[in-house]
């Protein structure tokens, strides 16, 4: 005879949590739903007590001897844990990195357009990755590229308003600088 009731929810649960019959230990220290210590019990007795209260037996500390199990509503426990994880995720701030791409011989007007975009990115709280691409013989114009980078940095607010997180790096025909706003 198989019993299927509200307590037989192990199939729907995550594999990382030990619930009811999936607990491999024979003896366990059991805690009541109110937090009261019920003592060391056999697995069968603990599950019967949980079912008598229409709740689940959940292993909360599997690395102790004997393991510690608590009688609780496992569905409600999962719901609360998901809600907490959602709150933590909501409070996290993700800093985006926006990239401004220029060439070593980019004209002043085009650089001003990039400066305007950079100011908008900084207002939004993003970091800026300023990249200069070299094609063909443009690799000779490293001085022009540095001048363009310095021009953009000064137009964005200079050293007072910007923090240079990663200084100028030249790699694979690219020159990059990482900038962020000082708060």
Average pLDDT of 101-109? 92
Q: What pLDDT sits at residue 140?
A: 87
Tell me the two tokens of residue 73: 């509503």
> Does one domain contain both 154 and 132?
yes
Q: Over 50: is that where the pLDDT of 107 sits? A: yes
> Does one domain contain both 126 and 70?
no
d(CA 47, CA 44): 5
| 8 Å CB contact between 31 and 71 | yes
What's the domain range around 113? Answer: 97-181
Average pLDDT of 159-175? 84
Residue closest to 142 by CA, chosen among 177, 94, 174, 112: 174
Half-sphere exposure of residue 128: CA atoms within 13 angstroms, side-chain side: 29
- The pLDDT-based confidence of 9 (bands split at 50, 70, 90) is very low
For 50-101, write each residue's pLDDT tens digit: 888 899 888 888 888 888 999 998 888 889 889 999 999 888 877 889 999 9
Q: Count the neighbouring beta carbons within 10 Å of the beta carbon of residue 85.
A: 10
Q: What pLDDT sits at residue 166?
A: 84
- The pLDDT-based confidence of 172 (bands split at 50, 70, 90) is confident
Question: Among residues 29, 61, 87, which one ends one of the domains?
Answer: 87
Tell me the two tokens of residue 89: 């995720």
Q: Count the neighbouring beta carbons within 10 Å of the beta carbon of residue 11.
A: 6
Greatest alpha-carbon span in the chain: 84
- Domain-embedded: residue 2: no
Q: What pLDDT sits at residue 13?
A: 43
For 119-149, write each residue's pLDDT tens digit: 999 888 889 999 999 998 888 888 999 999 9
- Domain-embedded: residue 49: yes
Structurally, the chain folds into a number of domains equal to 2
Instruction: Taking the CA atoms of 70, 76, 82 and 86 in sequence, report the sign of the dihedral they define.
Output: negative
What CATH number corresponds to the domain at position 59? 3.10.20.80
The arrangement of strands across the sheet holding 27-31 comes to 37-42, 27-31, 67-72, 56-61
Residue 5, C-beta contacts closer than 8 angstroms, at least 6 positions apart: 51
Pairing of strands 162-171, 56-61: unpaired
> Does one domain contain both 166 and 129?
yes
Pairing of strands 67-72, 27-31: parallel
- Domain-embedded: residue 155: yes
User: Model pTM?
Assistant: 0.52
Q: What pLDDT sits at residue 124?
A: 87
Q: Over 60: is that where the pLDDT of 153 sits? A: yes
- The pLDDT-based confidence of 165 (bands split at 50, 70, 90) is confident
Question: Among residues 33, 66, 87, which one ends one of the domains?
Answer: 87
Give buried/exposed letters for 41-65 (b at 16+ CB in 10 A, else e): bebeebbebbbeeebbbbbeeeeee
């Amino acid at each position: 005879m198989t019993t299927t009731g509200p307590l037989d929810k192990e199939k729907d649960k995550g594999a990382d949590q030990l619930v009811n019959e999936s607990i491999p230990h024979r003896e366990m220290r059991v805690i009541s739903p109110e937090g009261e210590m019920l003592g060391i019990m056999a697995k069968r007795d603990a599950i019967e007590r949980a079912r008598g209260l229409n709740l689940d037996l959940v292993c909360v500390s599997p690395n102790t001897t004997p393991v510690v199990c608590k009688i609780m509503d496992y569905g409600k426990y999962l719901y609360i844990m998901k809600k907490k994880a959602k709150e933590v995720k909501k409070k996290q701030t993700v800093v985006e990195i926006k990239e401004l791409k220029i060439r070593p011989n980019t004209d002043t007007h085009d650089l001003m357009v990039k400066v305007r975009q950079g100011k908008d990115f900084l207002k939004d709280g993003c970091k800026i990755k300023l990249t200069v691409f070299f094609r063909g013989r443009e690799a000779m114009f490293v001085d022009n590229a540095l001048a363009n980078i310095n021009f953009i940095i000064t137009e964005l607010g200079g050293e007072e308003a910007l923090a240079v997180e990663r200084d100028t790096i030249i790699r694979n025909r690219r020159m990059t600088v990482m900038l962020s706003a000082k708060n």
